[in-house]
A and B are shown apart, each in its own frame.
Chain A
Amino acid sequence: MCLAIAGEIINLDNNYALVDIMGIKDKVNIQLLDYPKVGDYILIHTGFAIEIINKEYFNYLNKVFNEMIKKEEENE
């Protein structure tokens, strides 16, 4: 039940944002966010945004774990 989905903010209107969630547009409450901007990707739980997704870490897992495995393979 702690399921959350990602969406991109396409418009802001006071406590709400119009969000594109995989092609579907929906109104999401953004009162729990600090300074959301159009273009931000947000994490949505039961109609409320609970965090702005940090784009710097979009590829964090791929980068870190590919490097880690490469090193392990080289050491063997």
Chain B
Amino acid sequence: MDFSIDSEQKALRDAVRELASRHAPQHGQGDAPVGPATHDADTWSALAEVGALGLPYPEDAGGFGASAVEVAVVASELGRAGVLTAYAESLVAGSLLAQAGHELLGDLTEGSALVVPALAEPGRAWSLASSSVQAEDSTLTGRKGPVPYADAASHVIVPATEDGALALYLVESPTVENGHVVLDSTKATRLLDASATAGALAQAVNLGTVALCAEALGTMDAATTMTVEYLKTRKQFGVPLMTFQTLTQRAADMYVSLELARSTVQFAAMAIADNPEDSATVSRTKVVTGQSGRHIGQEAIQLHGGIGMTAEYAVGHLTTRLTAIERTYGDTRQHLAALAAGLSDHGQVDVLA
């Protein structure tokens, strides 16, 4: 068990930190766009140039043979700078392409193809176990959504029901309406059949979830740092806010939440690098990150006061992103339900193995 990062990982971190600062939203110069992000081609090609898009895939499949640990390093830096991208989505898609041995992975890692998974469905809670999209004779019919970045995607990957079981299909140039992928006897290529789909999806979403949690970690880090700085500099009643213990005690609790999430996210990256199927660790990490992110996001706004509510100031945007991450790839409730169903599988949760 070793939490330290090596010199190559440090170099990657520094490169992405520099990239992220160049592509970060400019706060303090008028209102920054609010709400879900849109795809930014410049940021995406910069990520491709530093190799971030192909990190976790085997070299013979068109990747760079690194692991979830490097992915987490990249995602944390994006989160810290508030740079919103399709990184997690691309990782889920890339993992599926790699498992299917599909040649599109090369274009994905180069950034020339933007491939995203179409997993959510209107009017349904999160589930990887079923899909209302029907597959028949290499065509798909149904609707998936919202699908983040679908409007910019060159391809989407769709789980579809085929003879009563789930299979995975690739759709080129999808039709997108209001953020939803609309399929109407749409031509599609089967990536994986029913025997391989459930396992492949679980692995892919594990990787994407670790990336999201690492992004949340960077986001929480930035929100905590900004809040602490604000308490030092903002004056009311003629004194800095840090004079008030009711605020500093709450800042201490934010820091505790941050450090708990940091340990867990770093461990999850190592765990997934060691065993990509370790969904229980991913679920636990999603829960810890969700709870820490909710706590830090809410307190960051409250401790800033009114300025935290404004579109021109960064901290509220960080809370917006944490709110979205908690609801992506299964929320806290869904992951707790999955863990609750497996309580009898173990006595204690073993960390040291």
User: Do A and B actually bind?
Assistant: no
The interface of chain B, by Cβ under 8 A from chain A, is: none
The interface of chain A, by Cβ under 8 A from chain B, is: none
